[in-house]
Amino acid sequence: MTDRPPEIHEQRILGTELLWAVGVGVLVAATLSVVVFTALSRDINPPSNVERIDPKTLHLSGEFAEHNLGTTVGPDGRVTARMIATQFMFVPRCIAVPSGRAVTLRFASPDVIHGLLITRTNVNTMVVPGFVAQVHTEFTRDEDLLMPCHEYCGLGHSEMWATVQVMPDDRFKPGPDGRVSCAQR
């Protein structure tokens, strides 16, 4: 401490505080404007589907029972792929999807928080137990895409990944039950 009068000392503290407050304010305003700008102009939004599911019973019945997992084509032609993210694998390990068509991906977790992204696409979501994670997308190239878990979920996290097999639309043929599986390559 110097022997300056205390009022001057306090003035300096106030000045520094105001400077920091303005700096933080500018940062918050810039962040918010980027969020609003990308949402309005480029249609980029965080996943916002709020749909609850009981993680303790999701494998017993309902849409995430084993026989419902994988890709289905509804009577109206809508393509939906369902997967369970669990320690430490995706079930099924591969999903087939058509290219150039709208696809809905739905995920659920019975244990801990997982996450996933599909390489070379904009698909990226967390899978939180208790909620269904849903992503609408359209695949543009016919190729096998890697889908790793990107949320640390335990010792086997680095071994947890699946494949998304994108098929040309003319090869994407559902069976009589409306289901499509990955082709062996």
- Name the one residue in this structure whose structure tokens are 């505080």: 17
CB 111 within 8 A of CB 87: yes
160 touches ligand CUA (CB under 6 A):
yes
Residue 184 phi/psi, 5-degree rounding, is -75, 130
Q: Cα 29 vs. chain centroid, distance in angstroms?
A: 26
Closest CB to ligand CUA among residues 98, 129: 129
Closest CB to ligand CUA among residues 145, 160: 160
149 touches ligand CUA (CB under 6 A):
yes
CB 149 within 8 A of CB 116: yes
111 touches ligand CUA (CB under 6 A):
no
Closest CB to ligand CUA among residues 53, 127: 127
167 touches ligand CUA (CB under 6 A):
no
- Give the nearest distance from C-beta 111 to ligand CUA in angstroms: 9
Q: Which string of DSSP letters, residue by residue, matches 65-116?
A: SGGG-EEEE-TT--EEEEEEEETTEEESSEEEEEBTSEEEEEEE-SSS-EEE
147 touches ligand CUA (CB under 6 A):
no
- Give the nearest distance from C-beta 169 to ligand CUA in angstroms: 31
CB 164 within 8 A of CB 147: yes
Q: How many CB atoms lie within 10 A of CB 123?
A: 19
Q: How many residues interact with ligand CUA (rule CB under 6 A)?
A: 8
Closest CB to ligand CUA among residues 69, 180: 69
Q: Which residue in the set 71, 147, 157, 166 belongs to the binding site for ligand CUA (CB under 6 A)?
A: 157
* CA gap 45, 41 in Å, rounded: 11
For ligand CUA, the binding residues (CB under 6 A) are: 85, 114, 149, 151-153, 157, 160
